[in-house]
A and B are shown apart, each in its own frame.
Chain A
C-alpha cells in the first residue's frame, strides 16, 4: 500500500512537469492547428537558462535568501523563454501561416534541431549538474510514503501556474479572445481581435510555462542535457493528446494521468522501469485508436 502511495506521489510530480509542457503544445495547436515540435526544446532552454542564472547567483558568493533568488530566477527565465517563443513564431511559423499544414511542421523540426545544437555548442554535450542542496532536503512521512519539500514545491508551483492560466483563459477578455481565435480566425477578426497578437500571446504563455517546468526538472533531478526536450516533449505531447489536444484542462489532466500511469507501471510491472516509455507510447496508440479526441477533447478530427 505504501508503495502505491509512494509511486502515486512520484507520478504526480512527474505528471506536473508533463502538464506544464503539454499546455504549450495544446494552446498552440488550439490557435494555429500546428504541433510545435520545438516546444520541448524551449522547455530545455528554460532548464539551461535557470542553471546559468543559479550558477551566477551562487558564483557571486551569495547563498542567503536562496528562495527569493530562485523566485526571481523563475520569473526571469520565464520571460526570456517567452521572448524566445515569440521570436520563434515570427521567424519560423508566421511566414508559413498560409503555406498548408506540412511546411510549418518541417520548420518546427528545424527550430528544434537548431535549439538543441545551439545549446550543445554553448553548454557542451555532457550532462550538466544543477547545484545540490538549493532546496532543503526536508521530507515528510505520510502513511509510509516519503514526500520531499521539492515535490511539494513542484506541485504547489505547477498548480498555481495552471490555475492562473485557467483563470486567465476563462475569465478575462483577452483569454476569451484566445478561445474565440482558436475557433475561427476570420470571425475573431470581425470582432476586432488582432489574431497575430493573440498568436504571439499564446507563444508567450506556453513557453513561459514550459520554462518553469524546465527549471523544476533541473532542480528535481539535478542534471540536464541538451536533448532533454525530446523525451519530455514527446511525453508532454502524448499527455496533450491523452487529454484532448486543443483543450487546456485536458492537457492538465492528461499530464497528471500520464505521470501517474507511467510511474505505477514502472513500479508494478517486472523490469517496468525499462519499459516505462514503451508503456506510455502504447497508451498513446491505444487512445488514438479508441478515443482519438482524447479524454476531454471535442471532435477535433473534423477540423483536420
Chain B
C-alpha cells in the first residue's frame, strides 16, 4: 500500500478546472517531485491533499484512509505536513513561536515539542541563534529554513514542500536541498513541488510532470532527466 495515493483527482477554483484528473502515488521513504510550469497545478495538488481545497471528483488516500472529507486542520494530525508556497512564516511571531505553532497538533506534550525543536535546530542551527527574533526580520533563506522546520515540528510521516528554492540564491538552494535529503534519510517521506526541475530531479527518486492540470509524464528521476521533452521544456536544453 502506498503512503499517499491520488486517484483521478479533479479540483476547481470557482469555474476554473485546475486539476483535470491527477493520479499519483508516493511510497514510504521516497522523495517524489512534481515539476511543471507556473499554473500547471502543482500548488493546487498540494492544497488539495492538505484539505485547503476540496476535490470535486476522485479520491485521496493516506495510509489507506480516505482524506476527501477530513477538514484541513485535522490533516496534520494524520501525519501530513505542508510547508506552503512563499514560505508563509508568521512574520509577527518569533522563530520559537512559529515552531510552537508547527507543533500545535502535539497539544501540550512539552517533551515531544522540545525534542522536535532540538531536532529542527540540529538541521538548521541558524534558527537556534535567532529563536527570539521575529520571523519577519529573517532573511529569505532563514525564512525558508523556518518554514521547513515549522512543518517538521509535528513529526510528519509525509512532508510536502512547495517551491523551497523560490527566490533563493543558488548556493542557498543547494544547502536547503541537502537538508531535505537529510530529512528524508531520517525517515520522512517527501513530496516536493518545484519549478527548479534540475535541482528537484537531482534530489528525488521519482517525479511527475504536470501541464495545465494533467500529468503528462512520470518516471524515475533518472528517466525524466534523460527524457527529450523534459530536457527541452524544463531543463533549458536544446
Distance (Å) between the CB of A197 and the closest chain B CB? 9
* Total interface residues in chain B, CB < 8 Å: 27
How far, in angstroms, from A125 to B72 measured CA to CA in the complex?
48
Stretch at the interface among B3-11, B99-107, B195-203, B219-227: B99-107
How far, in angstroms, from A191 to B80 measured CA to CA in the complex?
10
Q: Is the CB of B82 within 8 A of A176?
A: no
How far, in angstroms, from A187 to B102 measured CA to CA in the complex?
10
Distance (Å) between the CB of B23 and the closest chain A CB? 24
Any B CB within 8 A of the CB of A189: yes
Interface string of A173-216 (1 = CB under 8 A from B): 10011011001101111111111000000000000000000000
Q: Is the CB of A191 within 8 A of B88?
A: no
Any B CB within 8 A of the CB of A298: yes
Residue among A176, A186, A194, A195 making CB contact with B101, cutoff 8 Å? A176
Q: Is the CB of B97 within 8 A of A176?
A: yes
CB < 8 Å A-B pair total: 66
Any A CB within 8 A of the CB of B69: no
Contacting residues, chain A, for B82 (C-beta < 8 A): 190
Q: Is the CB of A173 within 8 A of B92?
A: no
Residue among A180, A186, A193, A298 making CB contact with B93, cutoff 8 Å? A180
Q: Is the CB of A191 within 8 A of B93?
A: no
Any A CB within 8 A of the CB of B238: no
Residue among B88, B92, B105 making CB contact with A192, cutoff 8 Å? B105
Q: Is the CB of A186 within 8 A of B84?
A: yes
Residue among B51, B90, B97 making CB contact with A187, cutoff 8 Å? B90
Q: Is the CB of A187 within 8 A of B104?
A: no
How far, in angstroms, from A173 to B100 measured CA to CA in the complex?
8
Q: Is the CB of B93 within 8 A of A179?
A: yes
Distance (Å) between the CB of A117 and the closest chain B CB? 37
Secondary structure class of chain A's binding surface, majority of residues: helix
Q: Is the CB of A177 within 8 A of B52?
A: no
Contacting residues, chain A, for B52 (C-beta < 8 A): 186, 189-190
Q: Is the CB of A190 within 8 A of B108?
A: no
Q: Tell me the residues in window 53-86 of chain B with beta carbons closer than 8 Å to chain A beta carbons.
A: 71-77, 81-82, 84
Most buried by A among B82, B90, B154: B90
Q: Is the CB of A194 within 8 A of B97?
A: no
Q: For B52, give the chain A residue with the smallest CB separation.
A: A186
Q: For B102, give the chain A residue with the smallest CB separation.
A: A191
Contacting residues, chain A, for B97 (C-beta < 8 A): 176, 179
Q: For A171, give the chain B residue with the smallest CB separation.
A: B97
Distance (Å) between the CB of A262 and the closest chain B CB? 30
Q: Is the CB of B50 within 8 A of A191?
A: no
Any A CB within 8 A of the CB of B91: yes
Contacting residues, chain B, for A298 (C-beta < 8 A): 92
How far, in angstroms, from A124 to B150 measured CA to CA in the complex?
55
Residue among A180, A184, A192, A195 making CB contact with B76, cutoff 8 Å? A192
Contacting residues, chain A, for B104 (C-beta < 8 A): 173, 177, 191-193
Q: Tell me the residues in window 203-224 of chain B with beta carbons closer than 8 Å to chain A beta carbons.
A: none
Contacting residues, chain A, for B88 (C-beta < 8 A): 184, 187
Q: Is the CB of B84 within 8 A of A187?
A: yes
Residue among A176, A183, A184, A193 making CB contact with B73, cutoff 8 Å? A193
Q: 4 closest pairs, A vs B, by CB?
A: A192-B105, A189-B72, A192-B76, A191-B104
Report 8 cross-chain contacts, Cβ distance below 8 Å, ordered by A residue. Answer: A179-B93, A180-B90, A183-B91, A183-B92, A183-B93, A189-B50, A191-B154, A195-B73
B-side residues, CB < 8 A to A, are: 50-52, 71-77, 81-82, 84, 88, 90-93, 97, 100-102, 104-105, 108, 150, 154
